[in-house]
Chain A
Amino acid sequence: MASWGKQLAHLEEKIKELEIFAREQNIDLSGEIKSLQEKAKQIREEQNIEITPWQRVKLARNMERPTTLDYIEMICTDFTELHGDRLFSDDPAIIAGIARLGEQPVTVIGHQKGRSTKDNIARNFGMPHPEGYRKALRLMEQANKFNRPIITFIDTPGAYPGLGAEERGQGEAIARNLREMSGLKVPIVVVVTGEGGSGGALALAVGDWVCMFENAVYSVISPEGCASILWKDPGKAEQAAGSLKLTAEDLKKAGVIDAIIEEPEGGCHLDSKEMGKRLAEHLEEIVPYFQKMKPSVLLERRWERFSKLGVWTEETQAQKKVSQ
């Protein structure tokens, strides 16, 4: 590694140390931290360093990163959590309820990772069971009934692959959400905040507007899963992260997402307040925009948005005959 690389790594380590120290001792070191962050920023700019896809995967999974609940608390008021799918149980890996965005009541739903290891175990690391998806759908249908916009937060490694999940129809639960979300007559705004893990992420992400945090990732399979299936070597995850084109920038180019929300220098875990502010500003602009749309226009637009996704070539019948 070049000397600037070492310097940068050293700086980042120091920043983290200071943060932990400041929190534990309850003293204000924000001035010191800020000056170090400035320095790190300067080095990055000088070297014109691009963060690699694999580094983004790691940032997206960072335990320090704010969770859905943190964002809801930062951007909304009066959050009232609602529980249960009315069929089997309540899945703590998905959090849902009603809150206010400014004055506007909204239904908020998102994958919930734990804030600590203990919490993370209780939340199953943000990996939902079918009842989580069914709770989400129940509350989205409720939002539809009371004409409330829906905001979803995406942050999951994926739907949980376990015995109970399969017994209770993980595939069916996800499929049903995809079908039903395409027809809800209220605006659905999707925010990919961290990990967008495959079908388990998509099951909350069929919306009118999909925005993504700068360091969030979104793909059909985890880089580790891809590497071990295709190349029989989970060690090639870094390479797979590049091949999967899972960064916000890649997905914006592909037309899969509509906007990228920039993160504070070094990632949103370093300044969650600022991230919350940026997200709130974005949502306060986007949600009213879609609320003004007639439901028929909204639905047609949502259908168009998803039906055009994909890449292929098309030989016409005439050409086909010639080539045969």
Chain B
Amino acid sequence: MALFRKTRFSQVGTREIKNVPKNIASKCPECKHVHIEKDLSQKLKVCDRCGHHFSLPAKQRLKQIVDEGTFRETDPGLTSVDPLEFPGYAEKLEQVREKSGLNEAVITGFGKLEGIELGLGIMAPEFMLGSMGSVVGEKITRLINKSREKKKPLVIFSASGGARMQESIYSLMQMAKTSAALARFSDAGQLYISVLTHPTTGGVTASFAMLGDINIAEPGSLIGFAGPRVIQQTIGQKLPEGFQRAEFLLEHGFIDRIVERKNLKKELALLLKFHQGGEKVG
């Protein structure tokens, strides 16, 4: 029966595509379709064949969400140092800054979303996997505090591999700091919507990302505390299909809604409008 086992398609094509530089084409990890990067960016980095959401660089996210010309960045000059003189960290920061064109793994500021003024934090998965060190924690804390002072609603888009190891204990403390800031924000009766995008894990999941009045996730996003590889090593068995994906979290009651990227802005506007004009009662 060897005849039927023969590969029907030639492998030559794939080999050629493998040689294409990374920034020109991206292969969809779900349906394996190869997209030209320029086209993909125009489609908000969503595969039009299967709906897979690629991770979205912070600046593109900002452009999609905020009304044109309304965004004013806060604390752009806050810069990471290498407080523990961790091997290779200073060089890594320099490289990533150059490559990503960003100063840190989060952009914070105030702008308008369909005319509604809000505090906005957007994590950058392209900057050291969106890991949270002192600067990310401090920028987010300041954003929360400023939103509280200005009495504005707050939306934070998470995308993070977790705490930044190279800043060790300082990174860990950012979890306590951002969560404490959110407690004060919530006590003031203000609205915080957390949008969890691919991937949101570790210290970010275990702090501000899970503390929204409303938690929203993009379809298929990996969301969890421990990374899948660590879990697999610990339990010594393969993880079930769909484990730690947005749909899994919805099923287990940890997020309110899954919203496709193309509908995010509309849906956020709808939710923000429910809470407009409402000062804290009592």
> Interface of A with B (CB < 8 Å)?
159-163, 165-172, 174-176, 178-180, 182-183, 198-199, 202-203, 205-206, 218-221, 225-226, 229-230, 243-246, 250-251, 254, 256, 302-303, 306-307, 309-317, 319-320
Contact = CB atoms under 8 A, between A and B. Distances in A.
B207 to A, nearest CB: 5
A144 to B, nearest CB: 13
A12 to B, nearest CB: 29
Nearest to B204: A171
Contacts of A250: 169
Interface string B163-200: 11111111111111101111110110000000000000
Contacts of A307: 141, 177, 180-181
B177 A309 contact: yes
A179 B182 contact: yes
Interface of B: 75-81, 83-84, 86-88, 133-135, 137-138, 141, 163-177, 179-184, 186-187, 202-203, 205-211, 223-227, 230-231, 234-235, 239-240, 243-244, 248, 252-254
A161 B235 CA distance: 8
Contacts of A159: 206, 225-226
Contacts of B234: 160-162
Contact of B235 (A163, A169, A230): A163
B231 A161 contact: yes
Contacts of B87: 243
A93 B240 CA distance: 26
Contacts of A160: 234
Given A243-B84, A254-B169, A256-B173, A306 B226 contact: no
Given A243-B86, A310-B137, A167 B252 contact: yes
Contact of A170 (B78, B173, B180, B225): B225
Contact of A219 (B164, B168, B208, B248): B168
A178 B231 contact: no
B207 A178 contact: yes
A306 B176 contact: yes
B232 to A, nearest CB: 9
B223 to A, nearest CB: 8
Contacts of B239: 163
B138 A310 contact: yes
